[in-house]
Structure 1
Amino acid sequence: MIHVGPSVSRKCCFELREWIIPESHPRRESLLEREKLVEGMCDGVVVPQGLIAHGRGECFDYLLGETSIPPALEAERAAAAMFHLAKHPVISVNGNVAVLAAREVVELSEATGALIEVNLFYRTRERAKAIADLLYAHGARQVLGVDDATARIPGLDSMRGLVSPNGIYKADYVLLGIEDGDRTEALVRIGKTVAAIDLNPLSRTSLAASIPIVDHIKRALTNIKRYYESMSREEASRVINSFNPRKVIADTLLYIRNRLETLARQLMYDYR
């Protein structure tokens, strides 16, 4: 057993863990993501509750087969289309999103022209600044929501309700990620289009979103950028006009059911 003493930096701890987990380990990427979140908690970016949310998401990702399934791709295409049609799009970032996909957030922002804003339930200025600094380290040019969260989303009394007047408050389209049901409902209620990335298809986030994306945050952001770059504005209008969020959720649940039935039959066949 390797002992990591208090004199070893958090960065060194992560590098050590990366070395301990062999390239051949079938769960390597998943384990490294967990380590990044733990390091993020040590750095004040992630809260303990975020670790619980990630574990819940991992469970659903297992059910999906850890891939972007067809209903997710359909929703990601619609999310990309809205970036073409929106006048003031904003990408909302919390601690988990920043740790797992800061680079993808910045790349999507650069591609689409969308603003980036920090928004948190467990909010302190120190935590908001730590998240913004992480985004800046990955190339962000501007991050709202640190010192300018002076407006409030109507009907949302938690710290989630504090937003930048030049960001989410003004936005006509908001892309947000990972377990954010109360704000999704509040934003939709005041007429904003909300694309929500959440691996749980039965969460309030997924059920309330204008565009529910049941996928891993990194896969989803990468797919949205790819669709955006290959789509014309005319095609974007057609995609949005034909998009049905309820059908996407229903198709996702049916996909999970069918996959589980297939796995169960295979297990029974192997046993025989």
Structure 2
Amino acid sequence: ILGHLDDDIEYIDGIKNNRASASKTGIYSADTVLVPLEDGDRAEILKKSGKNTITIDLNPLSRTSKMSDISIMDNIVRAIPYMTKIAEDLKTQDKKFLIEMVNEFDNEENLEESLQQIKLKE
């Protein structure tokens, strides 16, 4: 478990709660971070510190969703196993294809589509 040793801890500037701590070899040095629970403060600070952020949130209008590079609109219990399956499937894809796929993703469009899906279910 990363971050359980005091000498392995760094603190992310700008977060004013106990979630400011981060493992040197984990979140602190990562280029991409999954924020699995709604945490607008952390998502915003991680983004400002130059990290790519992926969040899981039920609300496409939340600050967490809007601050993210990739917002997943779902319940975390469903999202994590599905993300794992997708990652396994993508492991065999060509790197060039994956880079194109990432570059074409637009989180604002994603959030708008999520809102449309919510409206359809009303």
TM-score normalised over the length of structure 1: 0.42
1:258, distance to aligned residue in structure 2 (A): 1.8
The answer to whether the aligner puts 1:192 opposite 2:51 as a matched pair is: yes
1:192, distance to aligned residue in structure 2 (A): 0.4
Which structure shows the higher strand fraction? 2
The one-character-per-residue Cα deviations of 1:156-211 (angstroms, maximum 9, x if unpaired) are 12211111111111011111211111000000001101101111222211111111
> After the TM superposition, which residues 33-182 of structure 1 pair with which residues of structure 2 at under 5 Å, given as runs?
143-148=1-6, 150-182=9-41
The one-character-per-residue Cα deviations of 1:49-90 (angstroms, maximum 9, x if unpaired) are xxxxxxxxxxxxxxxxxxxxxxxxxxxxxxxxxxxxxxxxxx
Structure 1 residue runs of 5 or longer lacking an equivalent are 1-142, 261-272
**What CA RMSD, in Å, does the superposition of the two structures yield over aligned residues?**
1.4
Which structure shows the higher helix fraction? 1
Q: 1:251 aligns with which of 96, 113, 117?
A: 113
CA contact (8 A) 2:57 2:75 kept: yes
Q: Percent of aligned pairs with the same residue?
A: 37
State the AA in 1 paired with 2:5: D
Structure 2 residue runs of 5 or longer lacking an equivalent are none
State the AA in 1 paired with 2:31: D
Aligned residues: 118
CA contact (8 A) 1:178 1:199 kept: no
Secondary structure of residue in 2 paired with 1:230? helix
1:215, distance to aligned residue in structure 2 (A): 0.7
Moved over 4 A (4+): none
Which has the greater radius of gyration? 1
Question: What is the CA–CA distance in structure 2 between the aligned matches of 1:253 and 1:152, rounded to whole Å?
Answer: 35
TM-score normalised over the length of structure 2: 0.89
